[in-house]
Each structure stands twice: as structure tokens, then as C-alpha cells.
DNA sequence: CTAGAACTGTGTACAACATAAACCAAGTGC
DNA sequence: GCACTTGGTTTATGTTGTACACAGTTCTAG
């Protein structure tokens, strides 16, 4: 990647994310647009992962030279950020949801759905705080869900960070387990076999009593061979844990001292 | 990075992680060792982040040629995985801990401590399931903490994944917020200013009522300018939420129908 | 004891990468 | 129409991971 990026310009990045370009009047008409470039990048990432997205590749896809992209986007880092922003469109919350818990469940599930459909989004290195319209809208939705609880802004943000953390972290772990083959170029079967051999070879009851017991009881099977649901049930399981935790916090907080 | 890695060899990676080399008898004595190489890589990452770790750089640090490293390590991907494994040493659990909750709290805090001291570990792309001795030992510790609850192996694993997800996700968000400057090369102040301007410009009460209210109430301050504690309090807050969730799950699970 | 096999470190080479700089043509405002 | 701004291209630079061939070293089989 050569030098990557010497310096970032937050203001320029924000302009791009929120699509408020100064709209130049002078020079020749632009043949491309930021949107086209971002969409091309997304298409490549959807098909072949984010590693396949290079400036050259995007430009080729559009039929222009590599350097032409730099007239629209300051750096590859910004392009990736724009891709994530555009890829994670936020659906409007349906009307039927009642109560913070139902709303947050919906929110978390929608959020993890983005990662499910655009797994590459998790591979884009996170360099700056969430700044794009969709990211902000997503925050707003979660906060709206919590609004009815009467908590302070700080408390609501704390809960949001905790929940986001869970969602992102779980998605990342799940994605890693599910996509070993795509990530390493080595067949899933080879990984499974190696992993199994590792477990039986190194996980002896002396040093790892609990793990060893679980392994022999075969409770590990569903993790060693993740199903097509991308650990969907597992995500829901953990989500309810977190929601339960929030509920208990509310009970304690609201109950008379 | 040219081609990065065409194919990974899980078995070779496992051999390296668990340090079970076939120990060759024939050729010249090796002047280097895997351990030295990994340590050199860790030193660089500690000082300048994982982006500064290149094969050339590591070799230079050791006084050898780039290609000599490939006699010890099959690829840079493996080197990074070894670095993470070695960097995340697992302390023995202290004796004083009583009850699963206290143990899990200790566990989660120790785990996030690793990320706190080696922030680069979060930047290493996660390509394979946890396989190294330290990763496994960490799993074992968490499972041991849960052992007393009498849950099934599957349930314990579900809880482990949820908790790990929270820990990793939160650490990643916190690290992003705390290290913008190091990551982008742009001063923290410039980011704060840009972010603040974004909030006031685009977050209008019409579209983002809740967020707008919180921003004007200044509940955002602590997030816009993360303190030295690396959102420590915030991590603890979310952790208790998750632990509460687990507790409630246990109560429900164990109570007579 | 000697021939070859196994192994180490090095040098060279290559393809891919992000991006800087100079350039010309296209369009606008004065 | 002239200066200035802008868009797309060309060319060039420095870095990256790693394939490959080679020369020297150490052990082992005969």
C-alpha cells in the first residue's frame, strides 16, 4: 500500500459523507461521480471481498484511469469509509414496535443484518468515529428506542455503546468462523480437520479440564461447523442477555431507593 | 502487499502456535528463531502500530535479510497471528475470586487489558478461529468460571461468545475513538472540531430529535473527548449489563418451571 | 570417509499497490 | 478572448509480500 495516507482531512471527509460538495462551476463537466465510484467499490467488495478493492480495480471497472478517481475521492481510506456508509443503509423503524426492548431488538437485528449481507464491512479498518448520515441515523434510532425509559443522555449513550459493542464484536467473531475458507484460501474441511486435531491433541483434561469435557461431550460441534444461519441463533441468544441486562439496570434505576 | 497469501496451511500454523517443530537435525544451525522474529514484530507494533510491521522492517531490526524470515514463518499473516498469540499472555486467575460473576468480571477485565496495552492487536485482521495456547487458555478460564453454574456446554459456549463479542467490540470502538490522531495523522483537536461542527450542522431536531437533545444537553462531551482511562468506566458499565443479563438467564434457567 | 541430502541465509526479481507531479484539453467568468 | 479553474491521463516513485535460484553448512547413509 506504499504510504497509504499521510494526513487525513476530516472536513473533506465530512463533506463527502454528507454530500455537500461546493459544486464547482468552472472546469469541464465531470464524467464520473463520487456515487458511481463508491458503488463500483461496493460491487467489487460484495463479489470478492474488500481485499479485492484497489484503486486500479475500481477505475478499471468504470473504464477510467486509476488516477482519475483521485479527482473525486481524496484517498482509498476515504473511499472505504464512503463504501461502508453507503452500504449500511438504515431502514425506517416499523410502526408496530412497542417498548424499548422490542425496538432495540429490532435495531440490533437490523444492524447485524448489514454485516450479514456485507461481511466485508467488518474488514474495513475503523479509523474514525461514526460520522456519516447513516451511522448517525442508526445512533438516533437506538437512542429513540431508549428515550421512553427516562434515562439521562449519558446513560443512554453508555447503553448504546455497550450494545453496539456486542453487535459488532459478535458479528466479527461469527464472520471469522464462517468465512475461514474465503479468508485463507484453504478449504473449510482442512480447517475443521486441523482444528479438531488441535483440540484433541493439545486440550488435555489436566490443563483444560472444562474445555476438554465440553469437547468430548461434543458441545463444540455447532461451533466447529457453523451453519448457514451465520450463528443467527447464537446472536439472538447473546442479544437477549444484553437486553436482560439493560432491563435489570432500568429496574434498579427506577425503583425507589 | 502484492499477493498476500495464496493458501494457508492450518497444520503448519498450529505447529508454530503450539511450538511443536519437528526439530530438524540436518542443515546448519539456525541463527534466528521464531520467537525472536515474533518479539521483534511485537516491539515494532508496540512502538509504531501494526501498520509499521513489514517483513523488511522486522528483518532489519534483527540484522538479517527480509527473505531469511521466511525460513521460520510461512507468511506475514502467520507472523501477525503469532504476534497476537504471544502478546496476549493469560495471567493465572487469583484465588480470592468467588462465584462465576466475580470470575467472569476478572476475566473480561483482564482480556480488555490486553487490548488496552496492545491496541494494535485489534488491528490485526482476524482470519481464523482462536487456535493458540493463550487463546485456548483464555477460553478455558471463562468456561471454568461458568462451570459452577451447571449449564450445558452449549449454553456456556453461547455465553462465552456473547461476552467475548462484547469485550472485543467495545474495545474496538473505544480504541477507534481514542486513537484517531495516531490512526489518521491528523491532530485530535482537528477531529474534535470537525465532529462538533458536524453534530451542530447536520443533527437537527427535525430528523434527529433524541440525538439533538443529548448534544445540546452536552451529554456528548465525554465521548467527543475520551479521557485517559480509555473509556474504562464505560467498559465496566457495559460489562455489568452483560453480567446482569447472564445472571437473569441463570435465574430463569434454574428456577423450577 | 565420502557423496548426497537437508537445511540456512542471501540476492535477485516481480507484480501489485497507493499516490505525487506534470500535463493538456475543456469549460466558465470577467 | 483571456485568465483561471477543473477533469482525465501519463508518467514516475517508493513500498509492499513473496517466489525462486544459489551458495554455503551440517548431518547421515553407504
| pLDDT tens digit sequence for B157-170 | 999 999 999 999 99
Inter-chain residue contact A248 with B244, CB threshold 8 Å: yes
Contact by Cβ (8 Å): A153, B212: no
- What CA–CA distance (Å, rounded) separates B52 from B50? 5
- What CA–CA distance (Å, rounded) separates B89 from A256? 44
Any B CB within 8 A of A204 CB: no
pLDDT in tens, B72-114: 999 999 999 999 999 999 999 999 999 999 999 999 999 999 9
Inter-chain residue contact B166 with A166, CB threshold 8 Å: yes
Band of residue B229 on the pLDDT scale cut at 50, 70, 90:
low
Inter-chain residue contact B166 with A165, CB threshold 8 Å: yes
Per-residue model confidence (pLDDT) at position A36: 98
- Per-residue pLDDT for B1 more than 50? no
Contact by Cβ (8 Å): A59, A66: yes
Which domains are seen in chain B, by residue range? Answer: 10-87 (1.10.10.60), 99-178+227-254 (1.10.357.10)
Of A residues 37-56, those with CB within 7 angstroms of nucleic strand C are 53-56
Contact by Cβ (8 Å): A166, B169: yes
Per-residue model confidence (pLDDT) at position A149: 95
Contact by Cβ (8 Å): B186, A8: yes
Q: According to the per-residue pLDDT averaged within each range, which of B5-14, B19-28, B164-173 is highest?
A: B164-173
Inter-chain residue contact A136 with B173, CB threshold 8 Å: no
Total number of residues shown for chain B:
257
Per-residue model confidence (pLDDT) at position B10: 94
Q: How far is A75 from chain B (nearest CA, A)?
A: 12
B218: left (phi over 0), alpha (psi -120 to 50) or beta: left
Q: Which residues contact A149 (CB under 8 A, 6 or more apart)?
A: A100, A156, A250
Reading chain A (257 residues) residue by residue, the pLDDT tens digits are 455 556 789 999 999 999 998 788 888 999 999 999 999 999 999 999 999 999 999 999 999 999 999 999 999 999 999 999 999 999 999 999 999 999 999 999 999 999 999 999 999 999 999 999 999 999 999 999 999 999 999 899 999 999 999 999 999 998 998 889 888 989 989 998 999 999 999 999 999 999 999 988 866 766 655 555 566 678 999 999 999 999 999 999 988 65
CA of B1 to C1' of C18 (A): 11
Q: Buried b vs exposed e over A6-31: b needs ≥16 C-beta within 10 Å?
A: eebbbeebbebbbeeeeeeeeeeeee
Residues of A in contact with B241 (CB under 8 A): 159, 162, 242, 245-246, 249
Share of chain B above pLDDT 90, in %: 77
Among chain B residues, the shortest Cα distance to A252 is held by: B244
Band of residue B223 on the pLDDT scale cut at 50, 70, 90:
low
Nucleotide nearest to B3 (CA to C1'): D17
A19: left (phi over 0), alpha (psi -120 to 50) or beta: left
| DSSP line for B204-253 | -TTT-HHHHHHHHTTTTHHHHS--TT-SHHHHHHHHHHHHHHHHHHHHHH
Cell match 524470515: residue?
Answer: B69
> Residue B73 has which C-alpha cell?
514463518
3-state DSSP assignment of residue B148: coil
> Residue B117 has which C-alpha cell?
496495552
- What CA–CA distance (Å, rounded) separates A222 from A234? 10
Amino acid at each position: 500500500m506504499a504510504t497509504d495516507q499521510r494526513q487525513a482531512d476530516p472536513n473533506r471527509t465530512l463533506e463527502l459523507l454528507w454530500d455537500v460538495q461546493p459544486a464547482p462551476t468552472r472546469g469541464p463537466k465531470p464524467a464520473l461521480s463520487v456515487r458511481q465510484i463508491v458503488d463500483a467499490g461496493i460491487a467489487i467488495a460484495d463479489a470478492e471481498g474488500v481485499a479485492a478493492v484497489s484503486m486500479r480495480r475500481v477505475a478499471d471497472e468504470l473504464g477510467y484511469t486509476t488516477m482519475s478517481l483521485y479527482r473525486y475521492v481524496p484517498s482509498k481510506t476515504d473511499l472505504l469509509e464512503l463504501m461502508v456508509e453507503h452500504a449500511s443503509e438504515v431502514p425506517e423503524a416499523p410502526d408496530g414496535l412497542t417498548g424499548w426492548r422490542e425496538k432495540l431488538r429490532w435495531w440490533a437485528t437490523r444492524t447485524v443484518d448489514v454485516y450479514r449481507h456485507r461481511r466485508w464491512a467488518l474488514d474495513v479498518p475503523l479509523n474514525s468515529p461514526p460520522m456519516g448520515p447513516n451511522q448517525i441515523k442508526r445512533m438516533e434510532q437506538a437512542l429513540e428506542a431508549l428515550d421512553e425509559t427516562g434515562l439521562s443522555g449519558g446513560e443512554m449513550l453508555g447503553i448504546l455503546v455497550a450494545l453496539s459493542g456486542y453487535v459488532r464484536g459478535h458479528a466479527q467473531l461469527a464472520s471469522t468462523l464462517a468465512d475461514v475458507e474465503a479468508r485463507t484460501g484453504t478449504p473449510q474441511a482442512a480447517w475443521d480437520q486441523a482444528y479438531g486435531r488441535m483440540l484433541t491433541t493439545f486440550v488435555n483434561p489436566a490443563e483444560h479440564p472444562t474445555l476438554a469435557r465440553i469437547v468430548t461431550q461434543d458441545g463444540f460441534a455447532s461451533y466447529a461447523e457453523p451453519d448457514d444461519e451465520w450463528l443467527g441463533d447464537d446472536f439472538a441468544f447473546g442479544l437477549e442477555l444484553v437486553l436482560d441486562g439493560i432491563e435489570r439496570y432500568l429496574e434498579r434505576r427506577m425503583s425507589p431507593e
